[in-house]
Chains A and B, each alone.
Chain A
Amino acid sequence: MSAHICGDYKTSYKEDMVLFQTRASKFWLVVFLVALYALPPFLGNYTLYVCNMIGIAVIGALGLNILTGFTGQISLGHGAFIGIGAYASAYLVMDMGMPFFIALPCAGLITALFGMVFGIPSLRLKGLYLAIATLAAQFIIEYLMVHLEGITNGVLGKMVDFPSFMGFTFDTDLKYFYLVITLAIIATMATKNIVRTRPGRAFIAIRDQYISAEVMGVNLFRYKLMAFAFSSFLAGVAGSLWAHYVSIITPEHFTIGVSIQYLAMIIIGGMGHVIGSIFGAIFMVLLPEVLRSISGGLSGHFPMIVNLFAAIKEGTFGLIIIAFLVYEPDGMAHRWQMIKAYWKLWPFSY
C-alpha cells in the first residue's frame, strides 16, 4: 500500500472524526471481517469455543470500557451486572417463554436499569469511594442471586436452553459463533460511534476534569447515569449470550473475580480505546487456555503441576497485571499504535 499518509492533511473537525482515516484501514477491516465469517467452518470445536468466549468477553469489556475507560468511573461490580443479564435472560426465556431475540435486548435493558440504580451514588462519590460502593453492589447482587430462589434457583443453578430463532437453534459451537461474532461487531461499531457523539464527548470530559465539564454545561448526573446504563446494557447482553452458551448458570459464575478479570481486560488492552477492549478480551481469555495447554504438556514430567494449576493461573494473572501497570500503563492499544506508526513510513522512518 503506497497510499500511506505522511502527515495530517485534515482541514475540518469533521474530517478528524471520520471512522476510517485511510482507505487502507477500511480495506484491512473488510479483509478481517470476511476472514472472520469465512474461516470458522474450518476450525475445530475447541477453537470455536475459545472464540465464542472471546466474543462474549469483548462485549462485556466494551461495556466496562465505556464506564471506566471513557467516563472514568471505576466499577468493581461488572461481574455482577453480567450475572443480572444472564439471569434476566434465563428467566425471560425459560420461565416466561419469551423468544430469545426479544429476551436478549430485554436482559440488556433490565441490567441497564440495575446499573443506573447502582450508578446513583456516583453523583456524590468519586474515585476510591465509588470503587468501594460498586464493590458493595457486587456483594449485594451476589447475595440476591443466591437467595432469590424463585428466579435464580439459588446455588443449585439454573438450566438454560440454546437460543432458537424461527425454528433454527444455535446449538453447535459454529452456529453460536456467528451469533456471538455478529453481536460483538455490532457492539464494537456502536461503541465506536457513541464515543464520537455528544454523550461520548461528555463522557471523556467528565473523565478528564469533571469540574470543567460541568462548567461547560455537561450535566454530570445525566451523563454519568447514561454511562452506567450503556455499560450495564452491554454487560447484560454479554451475560445473556454467556448464559445461553454454557447452558447452566450459578451465582458462582459472577463473583468479584469476574469483575476483576474484566477490569484487567481493559487495563491490559488499554483504557479509553475501543480496540483495547478487544485486545484485552482476547488476551484474558487466551491466557488460562495457554497456561492449561502448557501445564498439560509439562504434566508428563511434573505430575504435581496439575494440582497447582489454579495457583499458577492466579499468580500469572497477578504478575501480568502488575507488569502491565508498571511497564505499559496505557495497555496493548498504545503498543498497537506505536507499531502502526512505525510501519507508516517504513522503510524510510527517519
Chain B
Amino acid sequence: MDFFLQLLVSGIVVGSIYALVALGFVLIYKATGVINFAQGEFLMVGAYVCLALVSQLHIPFWIAFFLTMAVTVVLGMIIERLALRPMIGEPIISIIMLTIGLSSVLKCAVLLVWGPNNRVYPQIFSQVPINLGPIVISQVYIWSVGFAFLFLALFTLFFRYSSYGIAMRAVANDQQAALSMGISVKKIFALAWCIAFLVAGVGGVFLGNINVVNVSLGFFGLKVFPAVILGGLDSIPGAIVGGLIIGILEAMTGGYIDPLVGGGTKEVLPFVVLVIILMVKPYGFFGTEEIEKV
C-alpha cells in the first residue's frame, strides 16, 4: 500500500507538469488550430534559460524564475511572428512539419549554446523530505505540484474573466465573428503562443529541478499527446485531467509492470491508451465533437 501511494504521488507530480504543458498545447490548438510538435522543446528551453540564469549568472532562483517567464514570452512572440504567421491558411501537414522543423532549430540552438552534457540545477529546494503519514515527499515535488496548480488556476481564471481571455475564447469559437467584433485575431494568435511557451517553460524549470537537464527533455512534448487526446484536444479542463491520468498511469506501469518485462512499458503504455481512445472516443472526455456538414 505504501508503494502504491508513493507511486500515486510521483504520478501526480509528473502528471501536473504534463497538465501544464498540455495546457499550452490545448491553448494553441484552440486559438489557432495548430498542433504544436515543438511544445517539448519549449519546455527544454525554459529549463535551460532558468538554469543559465541561476548557475552562470548567479541570479537568485526566484528572480531567475520570473526572468525566465519573461524570456519565454518574448520567444513565443518571435516564433509566432517569424514562423507561424506566414503559415496561416496552409494545409495541416505543412503546419505540423513547420513545428517539427521549429523543434529541430530549438534543439540545435540549445546544443550550440549549452552543449550536449547533462546539467543539474544547484540545490534550490531543501532536501529534507516531508512525511505525510506513510509516504515521504521531497520538497521539490510539493513546490512543483503547487506551482503547476497555481498556474492552471490562474489561467482558468484568465480565460473566464479577463477581457483577453474572453477574446481568446471568442477567436477559438469563430474567427470571422471575432474579427467582426473588433478582436485582433493576430494579437490573439501571438498571445496563445506566448502563453504556451510560458507554461511549458515553467513546467521545464520544475522538471529540471526534479531530474537532470539535457536535450532529451524535448521528448516530454511527445508524451503530452496521449494526455490531450484523452482529455479532448480543445478542452482546458480536459488537459488537466488528461495530464494527471497519464502521469499516474505512467508511474503505476513504471512501478508494477516494468520490473516484470524489463523496462520501456512506461513509455509506450500512454500511446496504447491513445490508440484505444482514438478508436473508441476520438474527441476525448471533454472535447467538442466536430460535425461536418456538406
Contacts and interface: CB of A to CB of B under 8 A. Distances in A.
A329 interface: yes
A135 B225 contact: yes
B35 A128 contact: yes
Interface string A250-269: 00000010001001100100
B98 interface: yes
Nearest to B276: A136
Interface string B241-258: 000000000000000000
Given A128-B92, A271-B93, A140 B275 contact: yes
Contacts of B261: 147
A127 B278 CA distance: 13
B260 to A, nearest CB: 12
A311 B112 contact: yes
A186 to B, nearest CB: 28
A33 interface: no
B104 A326 contact: no
B102 A318 contact: yes
A322 interface: yes
Interface size bracket, B side: 35 or more
Contact of A267 (B87, B94, B106, B115): B94
Contacts of A312: 108, 112
A200 to B, nearest CB: 19
A317 to B, nearest CB: 5
A315 interface: yes
A133 B267 contact: no
B272 interface: yes
Contact of A308 (B96, B101, B111): B111
A314 B108 contact: yes
Contacts of A143: 264-265, 267-268
Contacts of A121: 275, 278-279
B90 A329 contact: yes
A218 to B, nearest CB: 15
Nearest to B261: A147
Interface string B71-115: 000000000000100110010111011101111111111011001
B233 interface: yes
A128 B101 CA distance: 17
B45 to A, nearest CB: 14
Contact of B93 (A124, A125, A129, A267): A267
Main secondary structure, interface of A, reads helix
A147 B264 contact: yes
Given A143-B267, A211-B294, A311-B108, A325 B278 contact: no
B102 A127 contact: no
A187 interface: no
Contacts of B116: 310-311
B225 A322 contact: no
Q: Report which residue of B93, B102, B105, B274 has the largest number of chain A beta carbons within 10 angstroms of its beta carbon.
A: B93
A319 B101 contact: yes
Contact of A322 (B102, B112, B268): B102
A143 B258 CA distance: 13
Contacts of B105: 315, 318-319, 322
A321 B275 contact: no
A132 interface: yes
A146 interface: yes
A147 B263 CA distance: 9
A74 interface: yes
17 contacts: A124-B282, A131-B96, A132-B274, A140-B272, A140-B275, A143-B265, A310-B111, A310-B116, A311-B111, A312-B108, A314-B107, A318-B101, A318-B106, A321-B98, A325-B90, A325-B98, A329-B94
Give the 6 A-B CB pairs with smallest separation, nearest first: A315-B108, A318-B104, A311-B111, A321-B101, A318-B105, A143-B268
Interface of B: 35, 83, 86-87, 90, 92-94, 96-98, 100-109, 111-112, 115-116, 222, 225-226, 229, 233, 261-262, 264-265, 267-268, 271-272, 274-275, 278-279, 282, 292, 294
